[in-house]
Amino acid sequence: MAKTYDAGQLQVLEGLEAVRMRPGMYIGTTSTRGLHHLLWEIVDNAIDEASNGFASEVRVTLHQDGSASVYDNGRGMPVDEHPTMHMSGVEVIFTKLHAGGKFNNDNYAYSGGLHGVGASVVNALSKWLTVDIFRDFTHYKVRFTSTVDEKGKCLAGIADEPLQRVGNTRKKGSLIRFLPDDTIFEDVRFNGDTVSRRLQELAYLNRGLKIVFTDERIKDAESREKTFLYEGGIIDYVKYLNDGKNAMHEEPIFLEGQKDSVICRVAIQYTDGYTESMFSYVNNIPTGEGGSHETGFKAAFTKMFNDYARRIGALKEKDANLSGEDFREGLSCVLTTMVKNPQFEGQTKGRLGNSEVRPAVEGIITQQLTDWLENLKNQDIAQAIVQKAIKAAQVREAARKTRDNARKANQLDAAPLVGKLSACRGKKAEDNELFIVEGDSAGGSAKQGRDSRYQAILPLRGKPLNAEKKRLDQVLSNEEFRSLITALGTSIDEGFNLNNLRYHKVIILSDADQDGAHIRAILLTFFFRYMKELVMNGHVYIGMPPLYKVQKGSKIWYAYDDKELQKCIKSAGKGYTLQRYKGLGEMNPEQLWATTMDPSQRKLMQVTIEDAALADRRITILMGDKVEPRRDYITEHADFNKPDNFELPDNHQEGGV
Ligand code: 1YM
């Protein structure tokens, strides 16, 4: 019999079951990242209520039963009956796809973007979800469950019963609690650090908003609860980023304005360092790849300061304009923009595409900076910025000469066999791997042990210099970095071009001791400061040599940490010998291949940067001039051999430092 579908059945097909069939389509992935998306969706709604001026406080709690809850003290979600759906507004929001977002587009013009998948998606992917609404002195409640019935039919996010009045209350707001479904997600445990970090970031981006984070899974009462509240907003954020750096001026420059529907805020604080740290956001979402808002800001900033430099006679008529990079040397900056219907583009959806935003931001910054530059009390710092840029331009010119000379001498971008590099034979960059190996002796083993079809070896002699404390010209004249840059083929800084990358896996191989950790940190700092795209695009890895060898007769086990060692010892039984590897150099070529280089056996940790701002701060603390913050940090995170204590945040095996 032919099957016919009536309207009712079609409705079912478009219901929340569709979300459970293809969760990836709605939240991108069912990995830990997707799990956290559920939470961000609800948090976003709470923050919207606050940025619309109705709530002053958001509370996020991770409960012991694995559920998460979010509360805001705003108006409370709509409880009145929906005109056509014959259920309360809140039930519509949680059970109808797409309706889940916001009915009224004007009120919620700035929300969503990356997450905005709707609260109904969270419901669909939860075992249960409860909503408590405190509104008009009444406490309302509704509970939804997802089950599979006897016939195997999936029931997604169905209300147990319609919205109920529970009683009277003087409270205000909405409380949502949900348990992610463990049949959907690979791992249903929320990461307390991830949640804490994002909430802190949101608190910085929403000045005056109090965000309380409680992780009830933590036993220690003192570290269970954290409150984030920043009256200065992004002004406090740049100060925090500059902890450990020497700021050139106490109070950050703060510019704020609106043009058409674009709202833009920026906080700027110069340091005496040489690197530029710019963090931009659109509708509270980080835009690590920049976009039209950044372009608009940079254009206005460079133009205004060049005009100013001429006005005060620091640049003469015959002088060329200073470049944007020159003006941004040593600058730490947070730029946040609110945009209607943002379009996110790029590899990681981290670049704003909307072309109308560039002129809007450019206009706002031009106007605000005009006022700032005219203000008498800003003259000292404005002049210091110009002087710093002039110096930067001189140094840049010197660096360009060094680079050009090096290039002429075929040192930077030609000849694959330059220096100590042992190149591989294969020509396909996608397949090729570059091992950066600590020490000549390990380098020798690696050369003999490798598969030379696609594995290249670059041994490092001693420690390369700490790029954090050096200018571009010094970095370029360092031999270790020069051979590395040459080997990679990408050039660096402004000249960096990812298309020229010769090895799609760049693997740092250093000893599992303090020196090894230091070398690793130095290399990561170099990549982060001068080849950020390399890290952003997931090309950088950390090789993990084993720490122990357990041998019994001809049988050998390798253990990469203490836990594994216990397992190996168990497998071996009595009468085994144990060797602790102190360095890569202790392994012969065959062992090095088998344990660390063979793609089918080895452990690699991909270095990615989800939180570039935090990575920046940690690099400053660990590699910068100030001793005290570093000592504090190291005292707190002292075990260098634990992967999660690598110097960049969030290193882990798949996709997210
Ligand atoms: C813990 C999460 O979702 N708070 C929240 C959501 C809404 C409202 C208030 C709200 C909005 C409006 C009117 C309005 C939402 N409303 C909608 C919808 N916190 C949380 N607090 N009354 C209440 O926009 O006019 C979606 S969310 F759809 F009704 F607009």
Residue 653's contacts (CB-CB under 8 Å, 6 or more residues apart) are 603, 604, 605, 606
Domain co-membership, 188 together with 79: yes
Q: Which of 228, 249, 266 is the last residue of a domain?
A: 228
Domain co-membership, 216 together with 249: no
260 is catalytic: no
Q: How far apart are CA 18 and CA 95, in angstroms?
A: 12
Give distance in angstroms: CA of 78 to centre of ligand 1: 6
pLDDT tens sequence across 587-612: 899 999 999 999 998 988 888 777 77
Domain co-membership, 382 together with 423: no
Assign residue 144 a region: left if phi > 0, alpha if psi is -120 to 50, beta otherwise?
A: beta
Strand-pair category, 433-438 with 505-509: parallel
Going from the C-alpha of 215 to that of each of 130, 187, 190, 621, the distances in angstroms are 19, 18, 10, 27
Domain co-membership, 160 together with 257: no
* Number of independent structural domains in the chain: 4
The DSSP call for residue 417 is T
Strand-pair category, 262-270 with 225-228: unpaired
612 phi and psi angles, rounded to 5 deg = -65, -35
Strand residue runs (E) in 184-314: 210-215, 225-228, 253-259, 262-270, 277-282, 285-286
Ligand 1 pocket test, pick from 77, 104, 105 with the greatest ligand atom count within 8 Å of Cβ, gives 77
Count CB neighbours of 5 within 10 A: 10
Domain co-membership, 191 together with 55: yes
Task: Answer yes or no: is the C-beta of 93 below 6 A from any ligand 1 atom.
Answer: yes
Domain co-membership, 77 together with 183: yes
Say if 274 falls within a structural domain: yes
511 is catalytic: yes
Atom 4, ligand 1: which residue's CA is nearest?
46
Task: Answer yes or no: is the C-beta of 78 below 6 A from any ligand 1 atom.
Answer: yes
Q: Which of 196, 228, 260 is the last residue of a domain?
A: 228
Say if 12 falls within a structural domain: no
CATH code of the domain in which 485 resides? 3.40.50.670
CATH code of the domain in which 41 resides? 3.30.565.10
Residue that wins the pLDDT comparison between 348 and 434: 434
Ligand 1 pocket test, pick from 45, 126, 134 with the greatest ligand atom count within 8 Å of Cβ, gives 45
Domain co-membership, 383 together with 414: no
Chain-centre distance for alpha carbon 417: 35
CATH code of the domain in which 360 resides? 3.30.230.10
pLDDT over 70 (residue 654): no
Say if 441 falls within a structural domain: yes
Domain co-membership, 476 together with 370: no
Residue 235's contacts (CB-CB under 8 Å, 6 or more residues apart) are 251, 252, 254, 267
Say if 405 falls within a structural domain: no
pLDDT over 70 (residue 39): yes
pLDDT tens sequence across 529-580: 888 889 988 999 999 889 899 999 989 899 988 888 999 999 998 899 998 8
pLDDT tens sequence across 407-434: 665 555 544 444 588 999 999 999 999 9
pLDDT tier for residue 628 given thresholds of 50, 70 and 90: confident
| Domain range for 47 | 17-228
Give the containing element (helix H, strand E) for 335.
strand 331-338
Atom 17, ligand 1: which residue's CA is nearest?
102
Q: How many CA atoms lie within 13 A of 21 on its CB side?
A: 10
Domain co-membership, 538 together with 552: no
438 is catalytic: yes
Say if 5 falls within a structural domain: no
Beta carbons of 96 and 85 less than 8 angstroms apart: yes
- Residue 451's pLDDT is what? 96
Token pair for 428: 């396909």
Assign residue 64 a region: left if phi > 0, alpha if psi is -120 to 50, beta otherwise?
A: alpha
Say if 470 falls within a structural domain: yes
Domain co-membership, 337 together with 312: yes
Say if 586 falls within a structural domain: no
Of ligand 1's listed atoms, the one at least distance from the Cα of 89 is 29
Say if 426 falls within a structural domain: yes
Query: Considering the entire predicted model, what is its pTM?
Result: 0.78
Domain co-membership, 502 together with 559: no
Domain co-membership, 357 together with 419: no
Q: Which of 172, 198, 228 is the last residue of a domain?
A: 228
